[in-house]
Structure 1
């Protein structure tokens, strides 16, 4: 159901509608009305009562005045002592117009009811004296019809009885001394019924210095006058006095003002009747009458109010408890078209400000609000806290006027306006922008929290009250909760805690954090922090070494499986240039200036390109919060307890968010591979990439799972797979055996071979295939064409060293058969004589020494033990670095890996130049040779 906008139901007064009102028009001026110079809305009795809502307090007061002037009782003295802007002057104006009788009672809305209740048919016209403490001056006499008047009592007597009345107090006026009670009683009786209205009395009396007499008398003479006047009024049954006194010492002004207030309150207290202040519910009607001329469609207004009441009931958990009560609907009706929450915040919170007048301040502010909303063609069903057009300069200035300095940037940057963060968020997020969720929530928070002070124990407004000030029927309340979460991340002056939100002129800790974030640089601060976090996240697991952001020259080129974690500036992406693959390829091919040989021992972990910027930002946030917490501990930052706790909690949240962000960012495993194509050699290096699950409990286990499932790493290898590798790559042509150590080492070097976890996997595979005759045989060496320590089809645990051979199964089977035949041939003849033979029977057979190894026929054992090796090789000067590395791996390490073997390597360098070597070259070479500790390094003539 579409609700009718307020602008189609309630019509503002012309001056509000057009914006032609003046701020001063909202300030009732008793003196100007008495002089006949006020605006029509205050000067004209009928118009005044038409726009005046008679509150309960005003009704009781007018009833007392009517009875007093009619001689039917009533209070002789009424003190109007309420807060600043509480409607004192407005009430005295009502008494003024009622007593003057310039308009018949029937033309004054609300007055006939009061007369009927008092039993008065017609109210007699009374004389009225108005004494204005602001307008009167203690040292400046006034002249009325040629008569100089100096004091308050002189002015009162002149207003009541002109020259004749003044004559009664002339001497007292001339001398500045108070007239006696009897004189004042005579004056009042002579001119009764009469009303005396005294406004701003404290402001007048506080101008007298003690012990000093001015034209208007002295401090004591004026207090004596008030005392005598109040006593005289009791004796005159048709005379009444209304006096307005400030409620607080601060409104009284100086110390003399406070002293005057105390004295006057004492004298009035003896005979006074206190006036009941305006209730909040009554203020609804006061404001509505002053700002709106009529409600054109009351059924539509009730429909709107009912929709809001039902909306609050249906979402009871999201709104304050009072909205669930049936009388909240009545409050909506009374306040329409303004939401009751606007009045509650203004009357309960803003009226606590020293310079905010309760009714007058609300009128001035709401007049500007209504004018701007009308001009902007606002379509909201009610004028709510979230509706306040704080982007409008007039409205914003009116609000900020009552607040301490420093609120302008708060509104402009965080709450409302083209440059506000709220507007930017809504422009970027159409879901929030469609209902202005951010701006409405921020306006509601501002209205409810701006008048607060830093000394409050509980600051801000609850989430439920933010929703009450912003949400409208038909809208999901959750959208405002989402908006608040976004605001908490972006706004600089918004604070929150314990489910409450408030703005403050001091930038919040988030603003401090945002400013500190700029201090931290990628290389010096951010990357080291990421490295530490990654290091804590990844345990060893299947890897012999984990290298985080390590330079390629520092990643060892050995037989251990290693995980290389690339830095954030080498991130992985599916599209465009992939810096991760470029960096990984460089590390894979080179170890510093040297080539890398064990390429199949490296696996890479890379960051996701799209997540890196968010990760770096989160790291900066964490570092910023950490610096704030450190400064708090070292007393370098002065914060209250709430902000200190908030900083600690924010640091915890930042750490937890960083932990999640590390997992979400470092999620790509990169594994190099090559294809070996018959007749075409090796393909270029290719990179396989697989994504790890960021939500897995343990990153190390997750990496291991992904490697195993995608066969990037083998932890258990079946013998048949080893046999297949041997058949495809090692048993070729006439070579039917392969060195087991070389096979293992080749799996570490070649990217087209399987990647085994370690040599233990290789040894277990050999042991598992030893009993079978389908895969391979073993030998501990081969000498003169014969296998040493041959084994085939027997359980064994072969020791993988440089001598262990893996023999092709057909060859091993043939060798085993030949060995069996040789063994049978070498077996001794039976002891029985063979028929048909000659010779001595019974000769013992020859028994071979079984302690010596036996070989197949034709074989002889080695007659000597080889104890020394010598070899020489010429290296290509251009490829010498690579060739020498191969030499060390393939030959030298065969010796150095055996205990007790001493190895000596000598390098001989010869260089010749037909034109000779220049002096510079000779000097450089000699210096370098000295540093490298050459035994001999000489240049010769060559003759």
Structure 2
């Protein structure tokens, strides 16, 4: 059974309600309004809103609907219960008239403030579909005819109401067969007719008609439930579509067994949360006050269920609440104090009654009468009247409370506790998660009620001030609401409010401003470019490890970003932020750096990747940095004796600085979320396209930022760290082996990939070399040569494992050309081994051609006809200068050894001999060092000998 709020169970006395006026409502009928046959006060939008008191609950709902229809967020599916302030049908009518747009929303009484709060200047007219389960009861077994269009099912009716015949055509087959359409089909239907609102009432009544296993023209029981599930999912995919649906509060109201099952299933689909609540105890004085303020408790069983739910809630979260809530007698206190929470009485009787002019009973009665009057008038839907329920935004309630306090409390309440101009109200307006349960206002009210009298009595010298967190939670928490929301609100208030103090897990208000006001005033000292940007730059630089980048340049001018072969990440300043919608300063700034290095053109454009801030988050980051700098200056001034603080305030300053530093670090990660990667397309016959930018979002929660950037680039194939030779060969064929050119300088290929935005972006030249080595033993990709003389390739290699040196002489040869050259070499080599006996035609006796150079060599050597004997062994010896040995040996490798190693089938043996003579002898340390190093380098022998 769902729990009922106090106002549905407890009825206040007439004198408590005196001064309010609630005009008796006639039965509102949503279907009649939709059909145009309702009474004037419901049919006419202006008349309807003139009669409607927009409660806080209704305001929040209309706010969500307005945001949804305007494409600014809001919930896609909203479930209404009869406990929702203003009545479910009345609320649906408000949404109906607001969305229908027959009268501009700004002309409807009470609506403009909602539009202003949502930041909507003009609400678009929406298509409205009304699915009234009672009105549609006959549809289950008998189709409806709409202007030549016959509708059989709920989804057919929905489609027809949204789009007429065109809309119905989208679900015609599903409607005629009684099978539920899928999520995708419904999403398309909604998107085609968005913005749109779907109002669903008495759905359980309609669905419970269908017997399981029996098909009617309106479908089956399961088909209708499947339709609802698909519809709720489809609504999430359409940002300007919203559905409001009402369900019974209890299984008893659901009726039959099928109705109970339908209720449970529909409640699940609509995201319904079953509330749980906990018990409290009451003294005799509680009963006196309750009897004086309330005429009756209409449903004692329902009241006891609420109290028991509270008690269970406290027991189930025993670590979060005071110890007394774990005792069995606390349930009795709850029941006896109902509908007022015992904590309200405890604070009034234990704390407020200690004030000199606060009368123990009369003062409680007077204050509570004003509180209950306002809560009743505002449609408060809390299960009990808690400390967090106190309507301190109301002038009468506020004046009654501060009447017993000294001067100075009015600005405390107005700024830090309650009211439309208060900070808690502002925080909730910006954060729907907190605003949905009024978490900040409820926390602030609770702290005010529990701390104001103590601050008056003992002032700054009070040893124990304020409320512990567990008692704050006791004053705000209701069964079914997550405690984490209120903890977050408490943390947010501690960080933002001017009069709220915090120490040793206790919280209290005081009329003296806390350090926050000092911090806010100091924030104005810090300027954007002189203070804020350098701080952000310093924090950014600490965030990065180099990783795949040869350099990371944070807020660096174009002329200071090198134009070389290294991959570089350029982090743009905050004022060059990126936005996916509209003109982006980031792209202009990045384009300028991409085009030029200072005043010179930039050539290695494919070496730059950019990181930019999110334009929507920059203002918040700047503000957080200013707060951090302000807290740091306060702590530094205190340490240098330029600022006098008591121990409590000094500790608060240290804690605030630590929190601000942590918050800035997280905000930087959340703000700098856009990778901007330039690219171009080569269009056949039309040259190169304009530079095209890809914007990729980073995960702010990734533990290593550099690795996250590398992951995003690799997953989107914008950075290559491992390159298959097949891709290199394809690039060579497309861009280098064409127009009769059959070989390409490897170094030029690598350098072009660094320069041209239409070519693949490699991490470094090591990736390029690895691709060359990987493809060297295949005949499918490319051949190699270390240069070319005329038609002859020097150091030719094809289809054999090869470790090329990436220099200006290295050539990459097209495979067919390499194969043909290899065959020519083979034929020439075979021809060099036949007996040489020239005839008059200059050919061998066998008719095989011989190189003229071979003939010439034989003639010069006085050779006679016979076999040409090739030279098969080479031996060379060189003495190296000990001082320049390293350079000399490198020259030997480049100029001599390379000619042997690049040719397959040549075995090369290199032996290094070292002789060192020391007339005075080698000392012990040198001998030990040389022996150890020789052992590491695997010398075959390394011995020191005694001299003669």
For the aligned pair, the TM-score class normalised by the smaller chain equals: 0.5 to 0.7
Please tell me whether the aligned partners of residues 714 and 720 of structure 2 are also in contact (alpha carbons under 8 angstroms): yes
Q: Name 2:826's counterpart in structure 1.
A: 820
Which residue, 732, 741, 744 being the options, matches 2:738? 732
The residue aligned with 1:500 is 506
Query: C-alpha distance in 1, partners of 2:845/2:719?
Result: 68
- TM-superposed CA distance for 1:504, in Å, is 1.6
- Separation in 1, partners of 2:867, 2:606: 57
- Segments of structure 1 that go 5 or more residues without pairing to the other structure are 20-279, 854-897, 900-943
- In 1, the alpha carbon distance for the partners of 2:824 and 2:585 equals 60
Q: What is the distance in 2 between the residues matched to 1:463 and 1:805?
A: 74
The answer to whether structure 1 residue 363 and structure 2 residue 335 are counterparts is: no
Does structure 1 retain, via aligned residues, the 8 Å contact 2:349–2:360?
no
Partner of 2:323: 321
Partner of 2:310: 311
Task: Name the CA shift for 1:824/1:347 in 2 (closer, same or farther; >3 Å).
Answer: closer
Partner Cα separation in structure 1 for residue 729 and residue 481 of structure 2? 71
**Aligned twin of 1:414:** 416
1:522-541 to 2 correspondences below 5 Å: 522-541=528-547
How far does residue 415 in structure 1 lie from its aligned partner after superposition?
1.8
The CA deviation string for residues 71-111 of structure 1, in whole angstroms up to 9 with x for no partner, is xxxxxxxxxxxxxxxxxxxxxxxxxxxxxxxxxxxxxxxxx
Query: 1-side partners of 2:631 and 2:592: how far apart?
Result: 37
Residue equivalent to 1:605: 611
Contact 2:9/2:302 (<8 A) preserved: no
Q: Distance in 2 between matches of 1:546 and 1:691?
A: 19
Distance in 2 (CA, whole Å) between partners of 1:472 and 1:808 is 77
Hey, what does 2:448 align to over in structure 1? Answer: 446
TM-score with structure 1 setting the length: 0.55
| Contact 1:308/1:473 (<8 A) preserved | no
CA 1:469–1:788: 2 relative to 1, 3 Å: closer
TM-score between both structures, scaled by the size of structure 2: 0.55
Structure 2 Cα separation of the partners of residues 671 and 433 of structure 1: 39
1:383-442, CA deviations, whole angstroms, 9 ceiling, x for partnerless residues? 654455544556545544544543231122112334323344455667766765544432
How far apart, in 1, do the equivalents of 2:374 and 2:771 lie? 86
Contact residue 302 and residue 333 of structure 1 kept, 8 A: no
Which residue in 2 is equivalent to 1:158? none
Output the CA distance in 2 between the equivalents of 1:7 and 1:302.
10
Number of the residue aligned with 1:587 = 593
Residue 292 of structure 1 deviates from its aligned partner by 7.4
Cα distance, 1:363 vs structure 2: 2.7
**Cα 1:306/1:757, change in 2 over 3 Å:** closer
Residues 285-304 of structure 1 aligned to structure 2 (within 5 Å) = 288=289, 296-297=295-296, 304=303
In structure 2, the CA distance between the partners of 1:449 and 1:574, relative to structure 1 (3 Å rule), is same
Aligned residue runs from structure 1 range 417-566, under 5 A: 417-425=419-427, 437-452=439-454, 453-470=459-476, 480-481=486-487, 483-566=489-572
How many residues align? The count is 584
Give the direction of change, closer, same or farther, for the CA distance of 1:780–1:501 in structure 2 (3 Å limit): same
- Secondary structure of the residue that 2:461 maps to in structure 1? coil
Q: Which has the larger radius of gyration?
A: 1
Contact 2:10–2:339 (Cα < 8 Å) also in 1:
no
Three-state SS of the structure 2 residue aligned to 1:813 is helix
Q: 1:727 to 1:643 in 2, by over 3 A?
A: same
1:799 paired residue number = 805
Residue 511 of structure 2: SS of its match in structure 1? coil
3-state SS of 1:670 partner: strand
Offset of residue 597 of structure 1: 1.0
Question: Is 1:771 aligned to 2:771, yes or no?
Answer: no
Change (3 A) 1:851 1:732: farther
* Native 8 Å contact 2:10 2:298 kept in 1: no
Query: Cα distance, 1:730 vs. partner?
Result: 1.9
Distance 1:845 1:459, change over 3 A: same
Using a 3 Å threshold, how does the CA distance of structure 1 residues 340 and 671 change in structure 2: closer, same or farther?
closer
TM superposition shift of 1:746: 1.3
Residue aligning to 1:632? 638
1:726-875 matched pairs, under 5 angstroms: 726-827=732-833, 829=835, 850=871
Q: 2:688 aligns with which of 682, 689, 692?
A: 682
Are 1:576 and 2:575 counterparts?
A: no
CA distance in 2, matches of 1:742, 1:375: 81
How far did residue 596 of structure 1 move? 1.0
Q: Deviations over 1:264-284 (max 9, x none)?
A: xxxxxxxxxxxxxxxx96766
Given that 1:543 and 1:562 are in contact with CA atoms closer than 8 Å, whether structure 2 keeps it comes out as yes
CA distance in 2, matches of 1:387, 1:634: 45
Partner of 2:179: none
What is the distance in 1 between the residues matched to 2:556 and 2:419?
49
Secondary structure of the residue aligned to 2:817 is: helix
Check conservation: 2:402, 2:409, Cα contact below 8 A.
yes
Instruction: Tell me, in whole angstroms, the C-alpha distance in 2 between the residues paired with 1:335 and 1:842.
Output: 127
Cα-Cα RMSD: 4.2
Residue-by-residue CA offset, 1:506-560 (whole Å, 9 max, x unaligned): 2233333333333333222222222222211221112111111111111111111
Q: SS of the counterpart of 2:678?
A: strand
Q: Is the 8 A contact 2:679 2:757 kept in 1?
A: yes
| CA deviations over 1:21-59 (Å, ceiling 9, x no partner) | xxxxxxxxxxxxxxxxxxxxxxxxxxxxxxxxxxxxxxx
* Closer/same/farther in 2, CA of residues 469 and 732 from structure 1, 3 Å limit: closer
SS of the residue corresponding to residue 657 of structure 1 reads helix
Aligned with 2:667 (options 661, 675, 694) = 661
Q: For each residue in 1:366-385, what CA deviation from the matched residue of structure 2 results, as whole angstroms up to 9, or x when unmatched?
A: 42552564377456687654
Secondary structure at the counterpart of residue 451 of structure 1: helix
Contact kept? 1:369, 1:388, Cα under 8 Å: no
- The SS at the match of 1:671 is strand
